[in-house]
Amino acid sequence: MASERIRQDAQPGVEHVSLVASRHRVLAMTFVMAADLWEAEQLAASAWAEWLDRSWLDGWRLASCAADLALGVWAVQASIKPDGGMSGVG
């Protein structure tokens, strides 16, 4: 239920949120588009402050928010050359 409401209540810079629930906690992986880690942390914290203010998340509070590095890999369709190289990538 909360994940659906989060999708409907988009916040600036937030691309995707994955929620993992346990008994007393929720881990929320919040994916944002940002220029650096500081901006990423600010965008995520701001979005969660906004969401946690909503009545449908009553009783929850932000325990911590920290930016982390992630590796993004983008791929395009390419054909494999006989020498093991790839064409169409670059």
Q: Is the separation of the CB atoms in 30 and 14 below 8 Å?
A: yes
pLDDT range class, residue 90, cuts 50, 70, 90: very low
Beta-strand pair 79-80/26-32: unpaired
Beta-strand pair 14-21/26-32: antiparallel
pLDDT at 48: 85
The predicted model scores a pTM of 0.62
For 4-61, the pLDDT digits (tens) are 788 888 888 888 888 887 777 777 888 888 888 888 888 888 888 888 787 777 777 7
By the 10 Å C-beta count (0-12 exposed, 13-18 middle, 19+ buried), 2 is classed as middle
Cα–Cα distance between 10 and 33 in angstroms, integer?
13
DSSP 36: S
| pLDDT at 89 exceeding the cut of 50 | no
Domain map (residue ranges) of the chain: 2-87
